Each structure stands twice: as structure tokens, then as C-alpha cells.
């Protein structure tokens, strides 16, 4: 396969319209005028530097800028590794002409906004991947081809693969799109875009992704040196109904368990957005809760959804100017709703407003909240639903891209928490936070069930985003190359309990083994009083093998998935730390399992 330059295009933002301007491009270095903007391209052997400048007398809104290539000498079927947008977004392999982008099936705009850089539906027949992709075809001896963006904190990078549109040249087309999300560019200003790289001709898929991630991590200052994490979290046993009594009961039980971190999840807060006040179910304040956990010899951890605000929260009532706006035709229609969770209530049946992370006072508020919870005794923060600032809307600074809005919020939280705090991203657009978080969730939520049937799909096309252990397994294998290159991977919690669950013992073991081989964080989220000696033995096995795999990742060899492009759901994971796993993703059984003594 060869990438042959074809065109450069720009999608502008003009009111409610998005005109597309295109110019032919043969791969030369140069400046290309498209209406009011000029795109400058500097082409190297495997890396293209580029920028966009506003040549008009007034500000210009830009939805996206793209380099368009033909994929020549390719033999169908073309397989595309689709890296999902954020933590929970499905990541696996799709086939051009067979699979579809879920946005073409699902009509729920909030869900599209959460799982794609561009929340508008994709074109018919189009496949897309965020930040990076690997392409492969069926030509004998043909090497896979990686295409990716060398960054993600200034704008998103989306790779769009479509069937050929020229009847005389039916080769597929790949669009490397710098997604700016309608950000305005002032007259005379230049925006530097993230370099586009491509690499092929030798190494396998995992090696290509590792090399790319290593380069990204090095250039962005990735925080990859935190200790291997073992901990307990309240979520998957108690969910929103957790009480202080539940917490303290498990803290007492934890004396017999090897946890470093003890994390309180969603349910302790007075309201979404009012993070410094506890609910009626938690008589103690944050300092008292942290003191109890620290007194038991554990590191206190706390959950926040820092960019969401309940409509009836104190912060929303006192500071309506901190909220992002919903604009229609340039008219302000009120606060922007960026998520929906009925269990949170909030005054609008679970709809949550989004904090405007371009507003200086809102950023000061985030910095204050992070500093306050760390001062209260919580140096470990799980930051959830953090895609919120990426949703299309009206923001105080219209010149910031969705990526910059997310990053600004995270930077404020890091400033407040301090450099020594451990920040775990969740529900986060992954490209935006390299160098600011210590760990990231890299898959959907697990659940006390292995898989879901099609009849359980809530929104067409988005079944893979729903909580199920099989979905977490797919992403754990598909994103194993991120571990210790970009951050510590958090596969999500183990499921150890044998009661109050529909997850069979073999499936629970398969999932535990996948977490172990990945080398990612080992977290438990069960009522510890329900666990027996078998559960403890399984956790001990996960920790021993996980530490060995994590040590290998520290040396530059994270666990590898050898069948990443072989089908829709990968099944194999291998670590030089001493373990190999082959699963049946459909049933949750282990087909092959081998270990060496990690000592």
C-alpha cells in the first residue's frame, strides 16, 4: 500500500453552514490558498509539518483542515484499526465496505459527542479512527501502514477512510483531518497543526503502535513513572448508593488485603459540581474520610466529574456565567447540556451542564477544587466524564479548539493538585492529556456480566460503549501498547465476587488474567465481605504477574496483541514478563494460558 497525495481541504464555519473548500495536492511542499485561509505544508520522508493561516480581514471559523491521500496498490479487503476517541470508546478492527461508523446508525447527539471528535455523523461508507490508525490489506507479504498525528493537545486528529470516489481511480481515500471544532482564527494569525506521520514496511502492528506512542510520550513529556497501582474502589458494588458505613466496613475488611489505594467513587458528593460538600449518606467531611483511610494505612482516593455541573447545584446557581452555552444560529439558548445520567437527578431529569473551561474564573474554580481535595487528604484523584468541554457549543473563548478546552481544564486541575498528586483520567479524550495525567482508563466499564445481546443495545451502533466485561477486554488488548508509553493503563476493576453477579467464575478468571498480562492497574471493586480465599488467591496471581508485565513495559516492551488486525475482537495478549493469554471474547473462556514464575 502507498499513500499518494491527492488534495487539501478546509471545512469552514459560517453560521449553521460548513462549506468545504478543496485544492489538488501532489505532495509538494508549499502554500495553498483555500478561500480566506492558506495552508502551508512542509513534506518530509515520513512526516508532514503543516499550518493554517487566516488571510482575510476578519476572523474565520474553521471546522477542520485535512490532507487527503489515495491508498494505492491496495488489495481488498482493507482492514482499519479504529482507535476510539475517549476512554470508553470501542477500539478494534473494522473492514472497509463491510463495517460502518456507529454515528450513521445512532441518532443520539450527546452519545456521538462523547465518542467522536466530530459529533456530526460520518459519511456513508466511511470508517474513522482517532489520533492514529493502522491499515492492512490482503496482498501477500504486504506490511501494515501506520498513520497518526504527533500530538493531540492543540486539536484532534481524525483519520477517515472512505471507498474511492473517482470512477476512473477507485482506490480508497484516507483523510488525515486536523479537527478544530469551529474554533475562530483571527485575521493574520497562524495555527500550527500537529505533524502527520506514516510508517510501514517492516515491523508488526504492535511494534508500529509502540514506536508511535513512544515518540508521542517523549515529545509530550508523558508521566509514566508512577508505581504499579493496587487498590479498592467503591463503584461496582455500591454504585451511587454508597454510604459512609459501606466505606468504613470495607476499610476494616481491607486489613487483610494488599491495597495501596482506597478510593471513594461517585455517591459521596452533595451534588454533581459541589465536590467539597458531602451528601447525607456521608456524615463526615472530606478531611474526616481521608483521615480514616490514611489511618488504616491506605492512600485516600476520590472520584470527581470536574467538568459537569448539576443544574440545581450550588455552583450552577451562584455562577451561571461559568457554564458553556447552547447556541443555535448564533442565538444563546441557555446552558449547554453535555451529559445525561438520570441517577444524578439535578433538576432536569439527569441532564448535566458543562463547565466552560475557557472562562478564567471557571478555571480558577477547578484549580481551587483540586487543591482543596488534595489538602483534605486525597492525593489520588479519579477524573471522570472529562469529555464534556469537547461538546459543540458556545464558549467564552471561541478561539480554543475542543482539545484545548479539555486540556485547559486538566491543566487547571494539575496546577491545583500539584505535581505529586496521582491523576487518573476517565471518560477522557485520550489525545488531549498526555503529560498531565499519570494513568488513564482505556476501555468501557466492566460489569457483573460478560456480554450483552443486540436486544440490549440502547442506541443503535453504540452497544460497545455499554458496560460489559467483554467490551473492557477488547479495549485492554487493543490498547496494550499505550501502557508506560503514554501513561499507566487502567483496564478497569477486577470482578472477584462469586455472589451478586452474573459473571461466571471462568469469565472472571479470564478477565483477571487479561488485566494481569496487560500490566495495568489492579483494582478491586467488590464488597470485601463477599470474597473468599479463591478470590484472594486470584488477586495475588494478578498482582504477581501484573508486576512482571509492568516491569517489562518499563523496559520498553508493553504486552502485545498479535492478532490485533485479524478480526473485530482480538483474543491474544503476550507479555515478555512471563504470561500469554488467548481468550474466546464471545464466551469469556480462556483457550490458552501459560505463565512463567515472575521471580
Would residue 260 show up in a list of annotated catalytic residues for this protein? no
In order of their start, the domains of the chain are 2-202 (no CATH), 230-310+358-595 (3.20.20.70)
Rounded to whole angstroms, the Cα distance separating 164 from 166 reads 6
For the chain, give the mean pLDDT: 96
Whole-angstrom Cα distance, residue 294 to residue 297? 5
pLDDT at 169 over 80: no
Give the residue among 495, 503, 449, 444 at the shortest CA–CA distance from 473: 444
Beta bridge partners of 284: none
Give the span between the Cα atoms of 51 and 8, in whole angstroms.
12
- For CA atoms 412, 416, 421, 427, give the dihedral sign: negative
C-alpha cell at 84: 476510539
pLDDT the model gives residue 599: 45
Please provide the distance, in angstroms rounded to a whole number, between the alpha carbons at the two ends of the chain: 44
Q: Are 92 and 569 in contact (CB under 8 A)?
A: yes
Q: Which of 153, 445, 490, 551 is catalytic?
A: 445
Higher pLDDT, 577 or 596: 577
* pLDDT, position 224: 98
Q: Is 545 helix (H, G, I), strand (E, B) or coil?
A: helix
CB atoms within 10 A of CB 35: 13
| Residue 108 burial (10 A CB sphere; 0-12, 13-18, 19+) | middle
Question: What is the C-alpha separation between 176 and 65, in angstroms, rounded?
Answer: 8
Helix boundaries (H) for 20-105: none
Count of other CB atoms within 10 angstroms of residue 567: 13
- Find all residues with CB under 8 Å of 441, minimum gap 6, and list them: 87, 88, 424, 425, 426, 427, 428, 490, 492
Neighbouring-strand partners of residue 51: 40, 192
Active site residue 445: yes
Which residues does 374 contact at the CB level (< 8 Å), separation at least 6? Answer: 381, 416, 417, 418, 421
Asked if 416 and 408 count as a contact pair (C-beta separation under 8 A), the reply is no
Measured CA to CA, the distance from residue 49 to residue 191 in angstroms comes to 12
Residues 14-24: what's their mean pLDDT? 89
Alpha carbon 268 to its chain's center: 25
Element (H, E) at 595: strand 589-595
Question: Which tens digit of pLDDT belongs to each residue from 266-308?
Answer: 999 999 999 999 999 999 999 999 999 999 999 999 999 999 9
What's the pLDDT tens digit per position in 41-85?
A: 999 999 999 999 999 999 999 999 999 999 999 999 999 999 999
Which residue among the candidates 384, 392, 492, 551 is catalytic per the annotation?
384
Phi, psi dihedrals of residue 192, rounded to the nearest 5°: -75, 130
- The alpha carbon dihedral of 495, 496, 498, 503 has a sign of positive
Coil, strand or helix at 575: strand
CB of 516 closer than 8 Å to CB of 553: no
Under the banding of pLDDT at 50, 70 and 90, the label for residue 597 is low
- Average pLDDT estimate for 308-315: 98
pLDDT tens digits, one per residue of 518-573: 999 999 999 999 999 999 999 999 999 999 999 999 999 999 999 999 988 999 99
Report residue 251 as a C-alpha cell: 476499610
- Torsion sign over Cα 51, 55, 60, 62: negative
Cα distance between residue 148 and residue 524, in whole Å: 35
Show the beta-strand stretches assigned E in 242-360.
Answer: 261-264, 269-271, 274-278, 299-304, 308-309, 325-328, 331-335, 337-340, 351-354
Which cell numbers in the block locate residue 247? 466505606
Task: Determine the average pLDDT of the residues in 379-394.
Answer: 98
The predicted-structure confidence for 109-148, as pLDDT tens digits, reads as follows: 999 999 999 999 999 999 999 999 999 998 888 889 999 9
Q: pLDDT of 1-10, one tens digit each?
A: 899 999 999 9
Amino acid at each position: 500500500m502507498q499513500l499518494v497525495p491527492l488534495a487539501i481541504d478546509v471545512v469552514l464555519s459560517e453560521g449553521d453552514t460548513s462549506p468545504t473548500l478543496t485544492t489538488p495536492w501532489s505532495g509538494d511542499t508549499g502554500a495553498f490558498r483555500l478561500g480566506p485561509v492558506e495552508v502551508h505544508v512542509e513534506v518530509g520522508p515520513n512526516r508532514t509539518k503543516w499550518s493554517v493561516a487566516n488571510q482575510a480581514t476578519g476572523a474565520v471559523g474553521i471546522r477542520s483542515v485535512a490532507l487527503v491521500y489515495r491508498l494505492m496498490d491496495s488489495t481488498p479487503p482493507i482492514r482499519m484499526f479504529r482507535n476510539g476517541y475517549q476512554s470508553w470508546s470501542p477500539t478494534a478492527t473494522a473492514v472497509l465496505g463491510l463495517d460502518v461508523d456507529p454515528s450513521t446508525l445512532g441518532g443520539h447527539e450527546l452519545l456521538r459527542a462523547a465518542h467522536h471528535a466530530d459529533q456530526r455523523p460520518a459519511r456513508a461508507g466511511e470508517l474513522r479512527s482517532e489520533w492514529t490508525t493502522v491499515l492492512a490489506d490482503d496482498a501477500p507479504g504486504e506490511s501494515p501502514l501506520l498513520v497518526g498525528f504527533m500530538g493531540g493537545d492543540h486539536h484532534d486528529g481524525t483519520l477517515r477512510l472512505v471507498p474511492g470516489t473517482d470512477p476512473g481511480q477507485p482506490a480508497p481515500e484516507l483523510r488525515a483531518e486536523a479537527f478544530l471544532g469551529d474554533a475562530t482564527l483571527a485575521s493574520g494569525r497562524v495555527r500550527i497543526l500537529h505533524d502527520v506521520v506514516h510508517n510501514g514496511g517492516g515491523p508488526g502492528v504492535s511494534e508500529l503502535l509502540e514506536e508511535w506512542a513512544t515518540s508521542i510520550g517523549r515529545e509530550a513529556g508523558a508521566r509514566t513513572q508512577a508505581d504499579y497501582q493496587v487498590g479498592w474502589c467503591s463503584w461496582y458494588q455500591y454504585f451511587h448508593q454508597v454510604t459512609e458505613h459501606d466505606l468504613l466496613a470495607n476499610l476494616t475488611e481491607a486489613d487483610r488485603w494488599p491495597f495501596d489505594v482506597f478510593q471513594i467513587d461517585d455517591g459521596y458528593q452533595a451534588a454533581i459540581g459541589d465536590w467539597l460538600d458531602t451528601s447525607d449518606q456521608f456524615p463526615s467531611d472530606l478531611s474526616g474520610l481521608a483521615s480514616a483511610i490514611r489511618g488504616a494505612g491506605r492512600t485516600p482516593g476520590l472520584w470527581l466529574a470536574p467538568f459537569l455541573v448539576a443544574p440545581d447545584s450550588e455552583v450552577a446557581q451562584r455562577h451561571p456565567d461559568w457554564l458553556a452555552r447552547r447556541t443555535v444560529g448564533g442565538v444563546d439558548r441557555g446552558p449547554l447540556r453535555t451529559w445525561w445520567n438520570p441517577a444524578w437527578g439535578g433538576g432536569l431529569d439527569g441532564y448535566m451542564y458543562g463547565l466552560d473551561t475557557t472562562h478564567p474564573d471557571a478555571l480558577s474554580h477547578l484549580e481551587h477544587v483540586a487543591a482543596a481535595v488534595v489538602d483534605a487528604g486525597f492525593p489520588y484523584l479519579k477524573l471522570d466524564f472529562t469529555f464534556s468541554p469537547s461538546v459543540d457549543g458556545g464558549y467564552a473563548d471561541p478561539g480554543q479548539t475542543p482539545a484545548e478546552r479539555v486540556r485547559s481544564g486538566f491543566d487547571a486541575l494539575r496546577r491545583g493538585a500539584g505535581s505529586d498528586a496521582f491523576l487518573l483520567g476517565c471518560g477522557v479524550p485520550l489525545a488531549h492529556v498526555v503529560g498531565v495525567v499519570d494513568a488513564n482508563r482505556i476501555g468501557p466499564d466492566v460489569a457483573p456480566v460478560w456480554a450483552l445481546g443486540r436486544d440490549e443495545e440502547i442506541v443503535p451502533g453504540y452497544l460497545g460503549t455499554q458496560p460489559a466485561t467483554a467490551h473492557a477486554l477488547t479495549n485492554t488488548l487493543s490498547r496494550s501498547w499505550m501502557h508506560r508509553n503514554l501513561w499507566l493503563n487502567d483496564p478497569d476493576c477486577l470482578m472477584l465476587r462469586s455472589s451478586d453477579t452474573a459473571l461466571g467464575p471462568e469469565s472472571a478468571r479470564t478477565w483477571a488474567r487479561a488485566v494481569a498480562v496487560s500490566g495495568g492497574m489492579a483494582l478491586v471493586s467488590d464488597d470485601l465481605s463477599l470474597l473468599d480465599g479463591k478470590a484472594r488467591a486470584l488477586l495475588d496471581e494478578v498482582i504477581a504477574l501484573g508486576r512482571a508485565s509492568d516491569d517489562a513495559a518499563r523496559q520498553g516492551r508493553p504486552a502485545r496483541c498479535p492478532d490485533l488486525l485479524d478480526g473485530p475482537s482480538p483474543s491474544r495478549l503476550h507479555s515478555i514478563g512471563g504470561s500469554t493469554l488467548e481468550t474466546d471474547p464471545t464466551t469469556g473462556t480462556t483457550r490458552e494460558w501459560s505463565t512463567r514464575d515472575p521471580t
